[in-house]
Structure 1
């Protein structure tokens, strides 16, 4: 089992070897930053392990952090990582990498980044996961995540490998990792919200062409104070809001009390504007939804 590799080491709670503002934007769907992070991680991985990969010639399988229906931010980074690594493999006459997923069957509204080690483990220890053993057996596995703070998720994956009897060579890759144990794990939240303090800070991110939905931003929007939520959705396109609703349903957020108020308002708003979810008509230019009929708050 190969030790974990991190492109950046977090050794101070107040300064970082990477741009904290960019990292925050990445966590909320900035696809351009995800592209850069993925390319940088792939380059660092190749520099350290490229020779080993060439000598092994074993089929590589890349797996981003576990998710249910909505990918995490690390998934977007993984897409960029794959392109760089595939070019390297092709240059050396090796087979392209394969992609796989760790299926996760539980979700929660708690902000994981604010928790300490014990609370993190208590939260995820009872999650249910699935891996396709027959597909993964006898291949080199590359697990990718954006950050390693306590190592709890890595511990879960290592346990899964044992549970599914997968004694594979495995790499655990991170864009950054906390290397000082005296720094509280909530440093992750400091980074996550470095650039995003309120829902209004999302406008610049979601209105760019390279925006990519992920679990974090869907939960953040649905948990926003109702008045702020109304102001935010009134400035978004029908396409954006429809995708938001569909993603929320796919992860079961419509069944969670924490998201009920915002979700139901948005769901009803879309029905009112589109007349029916079964409507197939589309206008040439999508209108911006307004909140003129919003309930008082």
Structure 2
């Protein structure tokens, strides 16, 4: 049996139930917002489901699919688990386990700008993989931050069917678009509400609550080169190394659109003379 639960139902472009600025910062790595969202989603799930009908089976939490770099949902998942585990432990239930949905394809397209058909065409070539044997006899909680057209959910459902999983499944979302007269690109209205340029990332990156994710890496690598170079000069070497390591791990060095910015990072990290020049020495 599959049950869907979303904390916020979006039926209007004027009211989301949460702050668009918070959501935008969350999508670009603000872990303080991820903590708030994760706790709120856990509390809503407990209030509306677990406190009414407790789950006797071992529960397994699964964040949205990713390859090497986690999505923003992964950070929210961490805090969801922390809050949920407290309730489970306090009420005598086993704490959750975790596993991962592996995906095979990465793409540079801006998913939030696409309509339902375009989204399915884009991700339809992807394939999701999960450890079937680990999940036997357990209840699965699939987490995602927002449901707009349901494309990702359909891919998850297809994976469940392909693997012959007979588990009870919960699809959990922080927000869900329930008014289908609203264009799916409302997602990008939220994604970019607080991030209008690469320089809007600096307060997030330089805070004590930064958690890197796929979106911010792709955004930086795909940005206008001249602006990227200015942005780059204000970043720490530790952040630059993290950015480069994440990019390589996701295979972004094979994507032409990212080549110029990624080459600049590579030169900085691997050429001492280049590094001195960039810092004006």
TM-score by length of 2: 0.96
1:135: which partner in 2? Answer: 134
2:28–2:204 CA contact under 8 A, matched in 1: yes
Aligned-residue offset at 1:197: 0.7
Gaps of 5+ in 2: none
Secondary structure of 1:77's counterpart equals: helix
2:63–2:73 CA contact under 8 A, matched in 1: yes
1:178: which partner in 2? Answer: 177
1:190: which partner in 2? Answer: 189
1:236–1:289 CA contact under 8 A, matched in 2: no
Secondary structure of 1:174's counterpart equals: strand
**What is the distance in 2 between the residues matched to 1:152 and 1:146?**
13
The CA deviation string for residues 52-93 of structure 1, in whole angstroms up to 9 with x for no partner, is: 553x41000000000000000000000000011111110111
1:114–1:186 CA contact under 8 A, matched in 2: yes
2:111: which partner in 1? Answer: 112
**What is the distance in 2 between the residues matched to 1:127 and 1:274?**
41
Gaps of 5+ in 1: 276-286
1:235–1:289 CA contact under 8 A, matched in 2: no
**What is the distance in 2 between the residues matched to 1:130 and 1:156?**
11
Q: 1:138 to 1:270 in 2, by over 3 A?
A: same
Aligned-residue offset at 1:274: 8.9
Aligned-residue offset at 1:290: 3.6
**What is the distance in 1 between the residues matched to 2:89 and 2:257?**
47
2:200: which partner in 1? Answer: 201
1:25: which partner in 2? Answer: 25
1:7–1:176 CA contact under 8 A, matched in 2: yes
Aligned-residue offset at 1:17: 1.3
1:11 aligns with 2:21: no
Q: 1:27 to 1:288 in 2, by over 3 A?
A: farther
**Map 1:28-39 → 2, pairs under 5 A:** 28-39=28-39
**What is the distance in 2 between the residues matched to 1:223 and 1:14?**
30
**What is the distance in 2 between the residues matched to 1:256 and 1:164?**
31
**What is the distance in 2 between the residues matched to 1:239 and 1:10?**
39
2:128–2:156 CA contact under 8 A, matched in 1: no
**What is the distance in 2 between the residues matched to 1:115 and 1:31?**
26
1:234–1:290 CA contact under 8 A, matched in 2: yes
Aligned-residue offset at 1:94: 1.2
2:225–2:261 CA contact under 8 A, matched in 1: yes
1:29–1:212 CA contact under 8 A, matched in 2: yes
Secondary structure of 2:2's counterpart equals: coil
Aligned-residue offset at 1:291: 5.3
For this pair of structures, how many residues does the alignment match? 281
Aligned-residue offset at 1:132: 0.2
The CA deviation string for residues 207-253 of structure 1, in whole angstroms up to 9 with x for no partner, is: 00110000000000000100110011100000000010000000000
**What is the distance in 2 between the residues matched to 1:73 and 1:274?**
35
The CA deviation string for residues 117-156 of structure 1, in whole angstroms up to 9 with x for no partner, is: 0000000011022110000121100000000000010011
Q: After TM superposition, which residue ranges in structure 1, 4 or more long, deviate above 3 angstroms? A: 287-293
1:156: which partner in 2? Answer: 155
Aligned-residue offset at 1:15: 2.7
1:81: which partner in 2? Answer: 80
**Map 1:88-99 → 2, pairs under 5 A:** 88-99=87-98
**What is the distance in 1 between the residues matched to 2:109 and 2:276?**
31
1:272 aligns with 2:271: yes
